């Protein structure tokens, strides 16, 4: 038996869809596999569970090992158990999605099985290994549902942002326009945002005020939830 299998549950794995928001685009972090199976293919950060390890613990460990990303928001997506999803033998995987501010991390290929790590625009993804495209689609569906009921979209924003920038994030994630007046009214009514005495430094004319989120209210709404529309 290979050394890596001795402390591994070879029929259980964790795969993670890492979402980022940059340049007005929703992006996904992928890594290029350096070993077989699927050597040279782009894939989601993932791997087998270790004995005595929980699925979320595995997801965080794997993310750190393949990309160097740590301390991020994780949400369970679903169990993927198709009979042929991993041809060498049957493997069940629990999918997660993570929300990352791309500029916060210096993404590097740190694992032995990864040769490159790169952000891709969601609508420009390369062909993915195994059933990872299905995992991506399922994760996006869950993300779109959750942003309407939890303020998790703020995990993708910089520390300071304008209301138009925040609305753009929601429109990109939901892939549809939102009414400007209703969006601003809802966000302000929730007391989630703190208006700063600063304006957008990147806009020289009619610069919008900057905001940041109230961590106390944010933590409350993460648990309690809200209705955006």
Q: What is the CATH number of the domain that holds 191?
A: 1.10.10.10
Residue 188 belongs to some domain of the structure? yes
Tell whether 204 and 111 lie within a shared domain: no
SS3 label, residue 53 = coil
Q: Does residue 172 register a pLDDT over 90? A: yes
Tell whether 158 and 122 lie within a shared domain: no
CB neighbour list of residue 128: distance below 8 Å, 6 or more residues apart? 30, 41, 42, 43, 44, 136
> Percent of the chain beyond pLDDT 70?
94
Tell whether 122 and 13 lie within a shared domain: yes
Tell whether 63 and 118 lie within a shared domain: yes
Residue 160 belongs to some domain of the structure? yes
For residue 16, give its domain range: 9-128
Residue 61 belongs to some domain of the structure? yes
How far apart CA 137 and CA 135 sit, in angstroms, is 6
Tell whether 84 and 123 lie within a shared domain: yes
pLDDT of residue 1: 42
Summarize pLDDT for 97-139 with one digit per residue, the tens: 999 888 777 777 666 677 788 999 999 999 999 999 999 999 9
Catalytic residues: 116
Q: Mean pLDDT in the chain?
A: 88
38 closest CA partner among 174, 129, 155, 150? 129
Residue 120 belongs to some domain of the structure? yes
pTM of structure: 0.90
Tell whether 124 and 155 lie within a shared domain: no
Residue 3 belongs to some domain of the structure? no
Tell whether 26 and 98 lie within a shared domain: yes
Tell whether 123 and 42 lie within a shared domain: yes
Residue 137 belongs to some domain of the structure? no
Higher pLDDT, residue 199 or 136:
136
pLDDT of residue 86: 86
63 closest CA partner among 122, 110, 26? 110
Tell whether 15 and 122 lie within a shared domain: yes
pLDDT band of 2, cuts 50, 70, 90: low
Tell whether 20 and 84 lie within a shared domain: yes
Last residue of a domain, one of 68, 96, 128: 128
Residue 171: both structure tokens together: 């429109």
Q: How far is CA 22 from CA 104, 115, 187, in A?
A: 11, 23, 21
* Spatial contact of 18 and 45, defined as CB atoms under 8 Å apart: yes
Tell whether 32 and 113 lie within a shared domain: yes
**Parallel, antiparallel or unpaired: strands 8-22 and 92-100:** parallel
Last residue of a domain, one of 95, 128, 161: 128
Residue 100 has, within 13 A of its CA and on its CB side, a CA count of: 25
**Domain count of the fold of the chain:** 2
């Amino acid at each position: 038996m290979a050394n890596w299998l001795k402390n591994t549950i070879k029929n259980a794995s964790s795969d993670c869809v890492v979402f980022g928001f940059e340049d007005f685009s929703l992006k996904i972090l992928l890594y290029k596999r350096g070993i077989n199976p699927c050597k040279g293919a782009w894939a989601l950060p993932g791997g087998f569970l270790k004995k005595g390890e929980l699925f979320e613990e595995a997801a965080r460990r794997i993310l750190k090992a393949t990309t160097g990303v740590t301390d991020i928001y994780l949400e369970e997506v679903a169990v993927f158990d198709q009979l042929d999803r991993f041809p060498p033998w049957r493997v069940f995987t629990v999918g997660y999605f993570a929300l990352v501010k791309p500029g916060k991390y210096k993404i590097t290929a740190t694992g032995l099985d990864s040769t490159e790590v790169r952000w891709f625009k969601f609508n420009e993804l390369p062909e993915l290994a195994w059933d990872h495209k299905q995992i991506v689609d399922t994760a996006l569906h869950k993300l779109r549902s959750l942003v309407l009921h939890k303020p998790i979209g703020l995990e993708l924003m910089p520390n300071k942002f304008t209301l138009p920038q925040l609305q753009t994030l929601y429109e990109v994630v939901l892939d549809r326009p939102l009414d400007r007046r209703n969006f601003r009214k809802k966000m302000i009514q929730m007391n989630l945002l703190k208006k700063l005495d600063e304006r957008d430094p990147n806009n020289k004319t009619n610069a919008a005020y900057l905001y940041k989120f109230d961590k106390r209210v944010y933590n409350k709404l993460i648990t309690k939830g809200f209705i955006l529309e």
